Amino acid sequence: MKNILLMIVVMFALAGYTFGECSAADRKALEAFDHAWSVAGDNGDRAALTNILADDYVGLPAMISKTQNIEDAMRAFERNKANPQNRDQFSSDNYMISCTPSTATITHRNVVTTKDGTGGKEETFYSRSVHFLEKRGGKWQAVSSANHGLDDYGVLMYMEHDWNNAYVKRDASWFERNLAADYSGVSSGTARIYSKSAELAELKADKSVTEWAGLSELNIRIDGNTAIVTGINQIKGRDDKNQPMDYRLRFTDSFIKRDGRWQVWASQGTRIP
């Protein structure tokens, strides 16, 4: 676990160090390249994959060549085509991209939702990919990539960040999916206890605008199918009277693993003077 978290911290640091060389337009184009790579694999587009992967491409840790990678993609495409009801659902997010005029590194989280052999119960798995690119002949090509699964500590870390992003965007669907049915939340302002339905209603009725939310001092403890996450959340934006707001909460979040995935079970925050 410590090694995975250290890798994530190092990647964040490296990304921050090199962002100055990579414009917003560059990062947008590289993210589009990564999405095109995924689409080519999903569609069994051999020609596109041939152009995307460099001839000397190596996939880690199994040292997979370009030819092996493409053939694996073709086999997966044929399996999905023959059995579409059990096809895995794949998405990527949390991109970190750095680049120079001739090299680039793309890292992102992968979210894979699978069904059992009968097409019934769904399970969600998380991993993180790192792709190394070079610009050759005026176009980007992937020269290497590595993928590692996220343990429960990594999953919970991302859930906390996803929670903040959903709050900023007022994305009620995230709360609907990730709050446990018996969720309870304690308001930092009124000490009122909120159920899941009350939390969703409050989110939709809230007239304040959150422009930014950032986490620090995260500490994650896990015991079996339950977990506790503590930390500090800083909120910036404008309140319901359109006045600037900037405050910090020290929070304790409880999670429970049900149906193969972590869900928010309880949450309480205290404002820091």
The C-alpha atoms of residue 246 and residue 233 are separated, in whole angstroms, by: 11
Q: Please give the mean pLDDT across all residues of the chain.
A: 89
pLDDT score, position 118 = 56
Cis before 61? omega within 30: yes
pLDDT score, position 119 = 53
pLDDT score, position 116 = 64
Q: Which domains does the chain have, with CATH numbers?
A: 2-150 (3.10.450.50), 153-271 (3.10.450.50)
Half-sphere exposure of 267 (CA within 13 A, CB side): 23
Residue 79, pLDDT > 50, answer yes
Considering the chain, what percentage of its residues have pLDDT values greater than 90?
Answer: 78
Average pLDDT over residues 37-45: 95
pLDDT score, position 115 = 73
pLDDT score, position 137 = 93
pLDDT score, position 84 = 86
The C-alpha atoms of residue 226 and residue 257 are separated, in whole angstroms, by: 6
Residue 19, pLDDT > 90, answer no
Q: How far is CA 157 from the centre of its chain?
A: 10
Give the C-alpha distances (Å, rounded to integers) separating 60 from 51, 65, 96, 259: 20, 9, 19, 31
**Of 111 and 122, more confident:** 111
Looking at the DSSP assignment, which residues form a beta bridge with residue 220? 229
Structure tokens at 259: 């149906």
Residue 9, pLDDT > 70, answer no
Residue 265, pLDDT > 90, answer yes
The C-alpha atoms of residue 96 and residue 22 are separated, in whole angstroms, by: 11
Average pLDDT over residues 149-167: 94
Residue 244 exposed, middle or buried by CB count within 10 Å (0-12, 13-18, 19+) = exposed
**Of 12 and 237, more confident:** 237
**Angle formed by the axes of helices 24-42 and 66-82, to 10°?**
60
202-236: pLDDT as tens digits: 999 999 999 999 999 999 999 999 999 999 999 99
Residue 25, pLDDT > 80, answer yes
pLDDT score, position 145 = 97
Average pLDDT over residues 242-247: 94
Assign 170 to helix, strand or coil: coil
